[in-house]
């Protein structure tokens, strides 16, 4: 049986329309469908060709077209042939025009322009990957924020989430047998955030990690007494540093990152 087909049409890349289409398709039959993306549609001739192809395939059209004349042409041609079509961009542009009390710039692909913000985020991600998990203590001073905590306390995923928002993040694991680097104690306390977690949840996470690695769940890594020792050591380091502490227990990465952003902006104290 052939997969159902949807045409995704855009005067830019078409990623937005495809993402929306796939999100909607996931609600039906496990989302199995064929998406035929047509990018950089620039003229009425391009529109007509796509509409004819969609008609032959008996496929609906989902589109993100910025230019009003092309949007209207596609709607008109699709309607004339009885082709279902969904305009994703038009209604949003109209709503924002009312809010801003001005017309849109009507330049396709602006969201993908490589501007200063884009490069800042790329640099932040590269920095965060380089200084993940205590790989190099020299990165602590250059970071916008330093996350510390025991193993499996969400340091890396939270770091990468913050990096996607342009923050250079270094994270460092706390282990009782290893004294934290001197560089850590030379930082302003407001630049450091300690991550803590309940012993029970940490044990559960570590047991699953051991299983995933094919290792014995009886290893000291998941031993309750060992976990308590690590958490007590981490708490002692937090107190010595006088840093903010966030409890990640039962918190999603996004929620933890939001709390840290509030701390960095001085909007809250944890």
The residue ranges of every structural domain in the chain are 5-112, 116-264
Rounded to 5 degrees, φ, ψ at 213 are: -90, 0
Tell me the three state secondary structure of residue 165.
coil
Length of the chain: 270
Q: What pTM was estimated for this model as a whole? A: 0.61
Whole-number Å distance between alpha carbons of 63 and 103 = 20
| CATH tag, 5-112 | 3.40.50
Q: What is the model's pLDDT at position 111?
A: 58
Distance (Å, whole) CA 180 – CA 237? 8
The answer to whether the beta carbons of residues 60 and 85 sit under 8 Å apart is: yes
Using an 8 Å Cβ cutoff, are 73 and 98 in contact?
Answer: no
| C-alpha distance from residue 138 to each of 146, 161, 176, 178 (Å) | 12, 22, 21, 17
Q: Are 78 and 54 in contact (CB under 8 A)?
A: yes
User: What architecture is the 116-264 domain classified under in CATH?
Assistant: 3-Layer(aba) Sandwich (3.40)
Alpha carbons 17 and 110: distance in angstroms, whole number: 15
Tens digit of each residue's pLDDT, the chain (270 residues): 578 899 999 988 888 889 899 889 888 865 678 999 999 999 999 999 999 999 999 999 999 998 889 999 999 999 999 999 999 988 888 888 888 887 776 666 555 555 677 788 889 999 999 999 998 888 899 999 999 999 999 999 999 999 999 999 999 999 999 999 999 999 999 999 999 999 999 999 999 999 999 999 889 999 999 999 999 999 999 999 999 999 999 999 999 999 999 999 885 554
Q: Are 128 and 122 in contact (CB under 8 A)?
A: no
With contact defined as beta carbons under 8 Å apart, do 229 and 222 qualify?
no
pLDDT attached to residue 106 = 64
> 116-264: same fold as 5-112?
yes
């Amino acid at each position: 049986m052939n997969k159902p087909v949807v045409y995704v049409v855009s005067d830019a890349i078409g990623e937005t329309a495809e993402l929306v289409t796939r999100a909607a398709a996931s609600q039906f039959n496990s989302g199995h469908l064929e998406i035929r993306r047509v990018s950089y549609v620039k003229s009425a001739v391009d529109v007509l060709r796509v509409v004819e192809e969609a008609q032959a395939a008996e496929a609906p059209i989902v589109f993100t077209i910025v230019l009003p004349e092309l949007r209207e042409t596609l709607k008109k041609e699709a309607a004339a042939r009885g082709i279902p079509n969904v305009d994703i961009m038009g209604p949003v542009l109209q709503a924002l025009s009312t809010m801003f009390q001005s017309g849109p710039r009507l330049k396709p692909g602006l969201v993908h322009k490589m501007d200063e913000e884009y490069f800042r985020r790329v640099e932040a991600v590269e920095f965060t990957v380089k200084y993940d998990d205590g790989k190099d203590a020299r990165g602590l001073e250059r970071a916008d924020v330093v996350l510390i905590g025991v193993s499996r306390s969400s340091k890396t995923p939270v770091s990468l989430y913050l990096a996607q928002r342009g923050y250079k993040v270094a994270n460092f694991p706390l282990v009782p047998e290893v004294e934290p680097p001197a560089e850590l104690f030379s930082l302003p306390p407001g630049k450091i955030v300690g991550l803590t977690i309940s012993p029970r949840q940490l044990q559960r996470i570590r047991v699953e990690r051991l299983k995933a690695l094919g290792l014995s769940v009886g290893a000291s890594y998941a031993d309750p007494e060992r976990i308590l020792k690590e958490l007590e050591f981490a708490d002692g380091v937090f107190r010595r540093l006088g840093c903010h502490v966030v409890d990640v227990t039962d918190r999603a990465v996004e929620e933890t990152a939001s709390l840290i952003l509030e701390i960095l902006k001085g909007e809250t104290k944890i």
